[in-house]
Amino acid sequence: MTAVSAGRRRPVRPARVVLHLFLGTVAVGWLFPILWAVLTSFRSYEYTAANGYVSLGGWTIDNYVTAWRTAEFGKHFLNSAYITVPAVLLTLFLASCVAFVIARFSWKLNIALLGLFTAANLLPQQALLIPLFRMFTEIPLPAWMSDSELLYDSYWGLILVNVAFQCGFCVFVLSNYMKALPHELYEAAMVDGASVWRQYWQVTLPLCRPALAALATLEVTWIYNEFFWATVLMRTGDKFPVTSSLNNLRGEFFTDNNLVSAGSVLVAIPTLVIFFLLQKQFVRGLTLGASKG
């Protein structure tokens, strides 16, 4: 474990060895559970039952086939998309609107408004369970919007809940980002006669792209992983998002851990894909200001 990068040879100092040892240990600590799950997911239950998990052998991909089939992942991945895509778009749009107002206009309630959004972020969601549940069972929807005819047990309800709970954080991040944009840009825009909407849509948002991309990555992961509201505010098993349907792999008396591992790996894949797709944006967001001077 020596550092031979950058062409120039540096003497290997003990501090550096310790640092690398530490980094290596932490990396293994983080990766271990994931790799263990991946490893387990490729082994048959019969083999691990007989030989224990600290062994090698019994390789198979049957777990993936069975998991996909019994938990009906195809259908449930779609359900997750129905909830996640609109919820993320709506959250980013609404949050950027609020953040724009907070960052660009000075009126008395600015700080109070930002405080409200940030404070709501700290509210434990579970505490709102009962009032929300009652409300949702009382608010009707027309039949063409949801076959439950209520906000309860409809995608609309879940999208709303997610938007409401995610807005606070996004407003906080975006308003700070927007405050850092140079003020002269807006003066120039105003001189050119740009309306408020235009300042928002054509000046601010393009500049916020890195922040929006970073938030989109986080929000997709969070809303996609959201499990609590989907279980409580949904009643129809066929409408559950994929995280809740993972439970379908647990038997009543008997749980095949290898099968559950395979299911979990499948469920984790979309978040990884999103992260690697948007990674470039994410990193650009960090360095964008630096190169401009």
Figure out which of the listed residues 24, 115, 182, 237 binds another protein, where binding follows CB under 8 A. 237
Mark the segment that binds another protein (CB under 8 A) among 28-36, 113-121, 141-149, 171-179. Answer: 141-149
Q: Which of 25, 202, 236, 287 binds another protein (CB under 8 A)?
A: 236
Taking CB under 8 A as the criterion, the residue among 102, 160, 208, 265 binding another protein is: 160
User: Binding to another protein by residue 184, rule CB under 8 A?
Assistant: no
Judged by CB under 8 A, the residue of 41, 245, 258, 261 near another protein is 245
Q: How far is the CB of 76 from another protein (least distance, A)?
A: 12
Q: According to the binding rule CB under 8 A, does residue 162 interact with another protein?
A: no
Our finding on whether 231 is near another protein (CB under 8 A) is yes
Q: Which is nearer to another protein, 74 or 140 (CB)?
A: 140
Least spacing, CB of residue 141 vs another protein, in Å: 6
Which one of 1-9, 188-196, 208-216, 241-249 is the stretch in contact with another protein (CB under 8 A)? 241-249
**Site for another protein contains 235 (CB under 8 A):** yes
Closest CA to 215 of 177, 182, 173, 152: 173
User: Angle of helix 14-41 relative to helix 257-292, nearest 10 degrees?
Assistant: 140
- Ramachandran angles phi, psi of 77, nearest 5°: -60, -40
Residue 147 or 187 with smaller CB distance to another protein: 147
CB-count burial class (<10 Å; 0-12, 13-18, 19+) for 234: buried
Torsion angle of alpha carbons 102, 103, 104, 109, nearest 10°? Answer: 30
Phi, psi of 59 (to 5 degrees): -70, 140
- By CB under 8 A, tell whether 155 contacts another protein: no
- Binding segment toward another protein, per CB under 8 A, in 29-37, 170-178, 192-200, 228-236: 228-236
User: Which position among 81, 250, 268, 270 is part of the footprint of another protein (CB under 8 A)?
Assistant: 250
Q: DSSP characters for 243-281?
A: HHHGGGGB-SS-B-HHHHHHHHHHHHHHHHHHHHHHHHH
Measured from the CB atom, the residue of 110 and 137 that comes closer to another protein is: 137
Q: Give the footprint of another protein on residues 49-78 (CB under 8 A).
A: 49, 70
- Compare residues 57 and 237 and give the one whose CB is closer to another protein: 237
Structural tokens at position 31:
């990766």
Take residue 33 and report the two structure tokens written for it: 């559970």
Q: Which is nearer to another protein, 149 or 281 (CB)?
A: 149
CB of residue 133 to another protein, shortest distance in Å: 6
**Residue tagged 């279980």 (tokens):** 231
Rounded Cα distance, 178 and 183, in Å: 10
Q: What is the CA radius of gyration of the chain?
A: 24
Instruction: Let me know: does 236 contact 19? Beta carbons within 8 Å.
Output: no
CA dist 176 → 96, 102, 147, 197, 290 (Å): 11, 9, 41, 20, 17
Q: Which residues bind another protein (CB under 8 A)?
A: 49, 70, 133, 135, 137-145, 148-153, 156, 160, 231-232, 235-238, 240, 244-245, 247-248, 250-254
